[in-house]
Amino acid sequence: MSDNQNKPQRPRRFIAGAVCPKCSEMDKVVMFSNDDGEEVRECVACGYSQTSTEQAVEDQQAQELATRVTPVDGRFGYDEGEQPLKILGLPDK
């Protein structure tokens, strides 16, 4: 571990069993606190990072979506092919 460039004071701990939402690697996600006191999850494999605030927003959106989806005869009307597009990082023009 020698890639701590400017924040060597931040202890990072791996989250056992956590899967990166971006690259799907397991056990590559570390958690640490940033200057705002937020917990940040960062993937050491692809560089993906997300603060607890962003995570909470996404969780809330996901819950809202889930509650709108009504299971039909035991089959959830919501599978990989039907997820709504999530647009992140819109170009700022």
User: Would you tell me which residues interact with Zn ion (CB under 5 A)?
Assistant: 20, 22-23, 43, 45-46, 48
The H or E element spanning position 58 is helix 52-68
DSSP state letters, 26-51: BT-EEEEE-TTS-EEEEETTT--EEE
Nearer to Zn ion, 71 or 89 (CB): 89
Closest CB to Zn ion among 23 and 66? 23
Of 55 and 78, CB closest to Zn ion: 55
Name residues whose C-beta falls within 8 Å of residue 86's C-beta, 6 or more positions apart in sequence: none
